[in-house]
Chain A
Amino acid sequence: MGKAELIPGTLDMLILTTLKRTPLHGYAIAQSIRRISDDVLTVEEGSLYPALQRLLLRGWVKAEWRKTETNRRARFYRLTAAGRKQLGLEVSQFRQMMAAIGRVLEDAGEMG
């Protein structure tokens, strides 16, 4: 299993993205990130929960207790309007950043 460290500062964005379609609980968030990234990105539980608290505190997500499909109580996180806005901002910033990095790498490749 090729595991990679998350790029620093991207955890919030990844969490918010996974919540875009539907509210999820912590475990599901971690699972979702791992699955969609084909096991490349793993979210450490040690970082996940503090990050969720941070998002709650900033008002980007809301939490509520609901039943899962297996009928167990879990805390589901839902994206708020502010969170959606924040996500858009972070994604566009990240895209700009990636594009910039890509250009730098290509340039270096030609030289090489």
Chain B
Amino acid sequence: MNVPRRLLKKLATLMGRTQFDGELDEEMAFHQGQIEEELRERGMNAQEAHYAAIRQFGNTTRMKERSHELMDLGMETVVQDVRFALRQMKRNSGFAVTAVLVLALGIGASAAIFGFVDAALIRPLPYTQPNRLVVLYETTTMGKRYHLSYLDYLDWKRENTVFQSLDVYAPYGFTLKTPEGLEAVSGTRVSTDFFRDLGVVPVLGRDFRPGEDQTSAARVAVLSYSTWQTRYGRRKDVLGQTVVLDGSPNEIIGVLPKSFHFAPAAPSEFWTTERASNECEQLRDCHNLIGVARLKPGVSLQAAFADIRTIAARLARQYPTDDLNRGAYMMTLTDVVVGNTRPILLALLSGAALLLLIATVNVASLLLVRSESRRRETAVRGALGASPARLVRQFVAEGLTLVALSSVLGVAGAWGVMQLPVRLIPKDLLARMPYLQGLGLNLHIVVFVGGILLGTGTIFSLTPALRLSPGDLREGLTGGSRSFAGVAWRRLGRNLVVVELTVAVVLLVSAGLLGKSFYQLLHSEIGLQPDRLATLQVSAQGAAYAKDAQVIALEREIQQRISELPGVRSVALTSTLPLGDGDNAENYWIVGRPYHGEQNEILDREVSYDYFSTVEAQLLRGRYFREDEDESKPLVAIINERMAQRYFPGEDPLGQQIYEQGDEKQHIEIVGVVNDIQEGQLNAAPGPAVYLPFRQNPSKDFAVVVRTRQDADAMLPMMTATVHRIDPGLATYDPSTMRERIHDSPAAYLHRSAAYLVGGFAALALVLGVVGLYGVISYTVSQRTREIGVRMALGAERGSVQWMVLREAARLTALGLTAGVVCAVGAAALMRSLLFGVEPWDFWTLAGVSAVLGSFALLASFLPARRAARVDPMDALRVE
């Protein structure tokens, strides 16, 4: 038959729904009236005939239902079902609120975490074919990811056969001339083809041209979009303007697109060209660049890596003094950008998934319990003519309505959470994760939530629908509840609770381990006393500080003026602050040792004479620097414990002499050994370090370190003001206390956020798991009321009944705990990279979690157990 026409007819009928109903009613009433008349004619009295007619005519509702179903498009009853579902929820608001909240929590958490995962791991980086981009480093004896020199870069670029393009970049701190004075700004120097090779086109103006890195070329600069926005108000006439960086005028030639970010050099406000004429660029042993290359089509990562390793090995042989023991290292750009956040994000995503699992299980079992209590309702509706399909559809509608409501709530919550990182993550850390900016709801997240909706919706619709079998109708009406199905579902409910408890244990143990790691990290030995220590970084550039003597004079002036400030206990300077990137190394050799071609890259810091006493490092042997140790005195050095152990095992390092590579004549005598000060990240293994007196090796970039009598925070503005009073031309940046440096360090941030987030999940999982246990035990008790009544009637003690219920709860808890502990140790082994100073099988964490969960579970089962013990046998037996 003609389908469209039939559909049209259905539509027309639907439009005139009330008319359709009215006609059907009238028609049936007429029919019934006719039967009644016929019966009366046969001699029945009026009332009897009326009832007989009704009986004969049968179930009008059922008839109407069937007629409706014929005319139905599917839509109308859906609206009706949803409306009914909402009414049901309103009537059982306690159940509805619990279920919706529990589910919204699970969905929201998953969606939010997925948003981060999407931003960091799924969304491609904003370059052409980002998966063909790799980052190139040189390896040294200290590690794998170190800079390459400009001359090495040129050789790599010329000799390789695997890269379509090879560029370099160098994050660089500029001093920017502003009307208010000099300001330290971050920037990056890049080779001229850098942007073109990434596939980035400026939104305004142009990028660098080949040759603009030569000495003769005019200096030009490209702006980041945010710089254009904040410093230039997005004016188009910014092109051609001049910006003074490090005292040299640069013409602004372009603005980068808003979507562009380059995490390895972020945050970068100004981009200039690498210049071949710079001092460092002419020395092969001056390593200051990192390479970015695009693989040729068809070249594999392994082949490319092998190729540059061969080149690096050849260069090391060719230039033994400059490139000795230096090799090549390669990583994909994606790994460089998101590498250290990947394990955390995946851990969090697993956490969120587990939470969602618990939430689903809980809501499913709640629905189950409710469908149990609604059996009579279902039976009545069935008896009144609702077809089984219709009844099942009702449950489907209820399940879907529930999930839809939760999804809306959850997504709204997730959206809120996603706005947080911009405020919660420290600014410079966020700058290193530029892909998190602009985080929000997008198609990926919508699809993700859609998937959850579909999955959970199916589960929730099927749970009660399966429970509902046609055979139950009569049983439902009679109110009996001792069916085999009831027992089967009870068993399923128990298994679900064991799963929930297992998941809760896994999350709790993970949170415990991460929390302990975080604590260990914050309290890890960093070799100095971080309380009441204020730091400020200063950069002295320009002609006024061209000579060493001028820098030393500045150092004396700063020492003098800051020590006069109220509340200052002592002042010191260092070229590099502790808890930095653990870089700035030089090659040192020991006088009198046979040379075997080894490369001794050793951290190298220039510090003022009272630095160690100011930071309160422990002097292990020898002496500190003296105040009068300057260029006129013999060169001296203090080494750290690690260096003493590695290079002078079983020897006395005091009196030994070392020299810096390239300065063979300048012997430096070791006069002291201090404990290891953590120069790198909190979770890094400390490396060997050499400390030299500032006045023998003045540095134009340094940090002022002040030990205060009171709160170090209050000292920071005074320090900045004092430095500017000495010379407004000095750039100052990053005023912070040592405690802040510890707390805001990327390592601490990573561990803290992981611990807090997983901790949050764990708390939720604990609550949900315990609620689940309570639900199942209560359900069991309500199902067994009659049995308990019989037991009591036969003489069972109240105590033994209570014990019987508690025993079941204890069994479930023990099962969950055992499975949980096993899984937790496995999970912890997987997230080993996030653990610091804690083993995955940490006894106290496992024991603590077991105790906490055990006592909560006991509490949750105690209430239903007491209820069971209070069952009145008479009442229980009368229920039937």
- List A residues at the B interface (Cβ < 8 Å): 25-27, 30, 44-46, 49-50, 53-54, 56-59, 72-75
Question: Could you pull out 17 A-B pairs where Cβ atoms are within 8 angstroms?
Answer: A26-B31, A44-B58, A45-B28, A45-B56, A45-B57, A45-B58, A46-B63, A49-B66, A50-B63, A53-B70, A58-B1, A58-B6, A59-B2, A59-B5, A74-B27, A75-B23, A75-B30
Query: CB of B141 within 8 A of chain A?
Result: no
A44 to B66, CA, bound (A): 14
Query: Which residue of chain A has its CB nearest to the CB of B59?
Result: A46
- Do A45 and B31 touch across chains, with their CB atoms under 8 A apart? yes
Contacts of B1 in A (CB 8 A): 58-59
Query: CB of B62 within 8 A of chain A?
Result: yes
Expressed in whole angstroms, the minimum distance between the Cβ of A34 and any Cβ of chain B is 11
Contacts of A53 in B (CB 8 A): 67, 70-71
- Do A46 and B58 touch across chains, with their CB atoms under 8 A apart? yes
Interface positions of B from 64 to 91, Cβ below 8 Å from A: 66-67, 70-71
Q: Chain B interface residue count: which class?
A: 20 to 34
A49 touching B67 in the complex, CB below 8 Å, given contacts A27-B35, A74-B30: yes
Query: CB of B34 within 8 A of chain A?
Result: yes
Query: CB of B21 within 8 A of chain A?
Result: no
Contacts of A54 in B (CB 8 A): 70
- List B residues at the A interface (Cβ < 8 Å): 1-2, 5-6, 9-10, 23-24, 26-28, 30-31, 33-35, 56-59, 62-63, 66-67, 70-71
Contacts of A49 in B (CB 8 A): 24, 27-28, 63, 66-67
- Do B26 and A73 touch across chains, with their CB atoms under 8 A apart? yes
Contacts of A73 in B (CB 8 A): 26, 30
Query: Which residue of chain B has its CB nearest to the CB of A56?
Result: B9
- For the residues of A in contact with B, the DSSP-based class is helix
Expressed in whole angstroms, the minimum distance between the Cβ of B31 and any Cβ of chain A is 5
Expressed in whole angstroms, the minimum distance between the Cβ of A78 and any Cβ of chain B is 15
Query: Which residue of chain B has its CB nearest to the CB of A46?
Result: B58
- Do A57 and B35 touch across chains, with their CB atoms under 8 A apart? no
A73 to B26, CA, bound (A): 9
A59 to B58, CA, bound (A): 27
A80 to B66, CA, bound (A): 24
- Do B63 and A45 touch across chains, with their CB atoms under 8 A apart? yes
A72 to B37, CA, bound (A): 13
- Do B70 and A50 touch across chains, with their CB atoms under 8 A apart? yes
Expressed in whole angstroms, the minimum distance between the Cβ of B208 and any Cβ of chain A is 74
A73 to B58, CA, bound (A): 22
Query: Which residue of chain A has its CB nearest to the CB of B69?
Result: A50
A59 to B1, CA, bound (A): 9
- Do A57 and B31 touch across chains, with their CB atoms under 8 A apart? no
- Do A72 and B30 touch across chains, with their CB atoms under 8 A apart? yes
Contacts of A30 in B (CB 8 A): 31
Expressed in whole angstroms, the minimum distance between the Cβ of A108 and any Cβ of chain B is 37
* Contact among B9, B34, B63 for A57, CB-based, below 8 A: B9
A53 to B23, CA, bound (A): 12
- For the residues of B in contact with A, the DSSP-based class is helix
Query: Which residue of chain B has its CB nearest to the CB of A44?
Result: B58
Contacts of A59 in B (CB 8 A): 1-2, 5-6, 9
Query: Which residue of chain B has its CB nearest to the CB of A25?
Result: B30
- Do A46 and B71 touch across chains, with their CB atoms under 8 A apart? no
Closest 3 pairs (CB-CB, A-B): A27-B34, A50-B66, A27-B31
Expressed in whole angstroms, the minimum distance between the Cβ of B385 and any Cβ of chain A is 10
A57 touching B70 in the complex, CB below 8 Å, given contacts A46-B58, A75-B23: yes
Contacts of B57 in A (CB 8 A): 45
A50 touching B31 in the complex, CB below 8 Å, given contacts A45-B57, A57-B10, A58-B1: no
Contacts of A72 in B (CB 8 A): 30, 33
Query: Which residue of chain A has its CB nearest to the CB of B385?
Result: A46
A46-B59, A57-B70 given; 14 more Cβ-contact pairs under 8 Å: A25-B27, A25-B30, A26-B28, A45-B28, A45-B58, A49-B27, A49-B28, A49-B66, A49-B67, A50-B67, A58-B1, A59-B5, A75-B23, A75-B30
Contacts of B5 in A (CB 8 A): 59
A57 to B67, CA, bound (A): 11
A75 to B25, CA, bound (A): 11
A54 to B63, CA, bound (A): 13
Contacts of B6 in A (CB 8 A): 57-59
Contacts of B26 in A (CB 8 A): 73, 75
A101 to B71, CA, bound (A): 35
A57 to B6, CA, bound (A): 6
A4 to B93, CA, bound (A): 52
Contacts of B59 in A (CB 8 A): 46
Expressed in whole angstroms, the minimum distance between the Cβ of B51 and any Cβ of chain A is 15
A74 to B29, CA, bound (A): 10
A54 to B33, CA, bound (A): 24
Contacts of A26 in B (CB 8 A): 27-28, 30-31
A60 to B30, CA, bound (A): 23
Expressed in whole angstroms, the minimum distance between the Cβ of A1 and any Cβ of chain B is 13
Expressed in whole angstroms, the minimum distance between the Cβ of A23 and any Cβ of chain B is 14
Contacts of A25 in B (CB 8 A): 27, 30-31
Contacts of B62 in A (CB 8 A): 46
Expressed in whole angstroms, the minimum distance between the Cβ of A70 and any Cβ of chain B is 9
A95 to B212, CA, bound (A): 97
A73 to B23, CA, bound (A): 11
Expressed in whole angstroms, the minimum distance between the Cβ of B41 and any Cβ of chain A is 12
Contacts of B71 in A (CB 8 A): 53, 57
Contacts of B10 in A (CB 8 A): 57
Expressed in whole angstroms, the minimum distance between the Cβ of B13 and any Cβ of chain A is 8
Contacts of A56 in B (CB 8 A): 9
Query: Which residue of chain B has its CB nearest to the CB of A74?
Result: B30
Expressed in whole angstroms, the minimum distance between the Cβ of B314 and any Cβ of chain A is 86
A30 to B28, CA, bound (A): 12
Contacts of B70 in A (CB 8 A): 50, 53-54, 57
Contacts of A27 in B (CB 8 A): 30-31, 34-35
Contacts of B58 in A (CB 8 A): 44-46
A58 to B67, CA, bound (A): 14
Contacts of B2 in A (CB 8 A): 59
Contacts of B24 in A (CB 8 A): 49
Expressed in whole angstroms, the minimum distance between the Cβ of A22 and any Cβ of chain B is 17
A75 to B10, CA, bound (A): 19
Expressed in whole angstroms, the minimum distance between the Cβ of B384 and any Cβ of chain A is 14
A73 to B33, CA, bound (A): 12
Contacts of A46 in B (CB 8 A): 58-59, 62-63, 66
Contacts of B27 in A (CB 8 A): 25-26, 49, 74-75
Query: Which residue of chain A has its CB nearest to the CB of B1?
Result: A58
Contacts of B34 in A (CB 8 A): 27
Expressed in whole angstroms, the minimum distance between the Cβ of B67 and any Cβ of chain A is 5
A97 to B240, CA, bound (A): 95
Contacts of B56 in A (CB 8 A): 45
Contacts of A45 in B (CB 8 A): 28, 31, 56-58, 63
A33 to B62, CA, bound (A): 23
A43 to B56, CA, bound (A): 11
Query: Which residue of chain A has its CB nearest to the CB of B57?
Result: A45
A72 to B31, CA, bound (A): 11
Contacts of B28 in A (CB 8 A): 26, 45, 49
Expressed in whole angstroms, the minimum distance between the Cβ of B144 and any Cβ of chain A is 76
A56 to B33, CA, bound (A): 23
A30 to B32, CA, bound (A): 12
Expressed in whole angstroms, the minimum distance between the Cβ of A83 and any Cβ of chain B is 12
A54 to B13, CA, bound (A): 13
Query: Which residue of chain A has its CB nearest to the CB of B5?
Result: A59
Contacts of A58 in B (CB 8 A): 1, 6
A25 to B9, CA, bound (A): 21
A39 to B871, CA, bound (A): 60
Query: Which residue of chain B has its CB nearest to the CB of A72?
Result: B30
Expressed in whole angstroms, the minimum distance between the Cβ of A54 and any Cβ of chain B is 6
Expressed in whole angstroms, the minimum distance between the Cβ of A43 and any Cβ of chain B is 11
Query: Which residue of chain B has its CB nearest to the CB of A28?
Result: B34
A54 to B26, CA, bound (A): 18
Contacts of A75 in B (CB 8 A): 23, 26-27, 30
A58 to B33, CA, bound (A): 28
Query: Which residue of chain A has its CB nearest to the CB of B37?
Result: A70
Q: Which of B26, B35, B66 has the most CB of A within 10 A?
A: B66
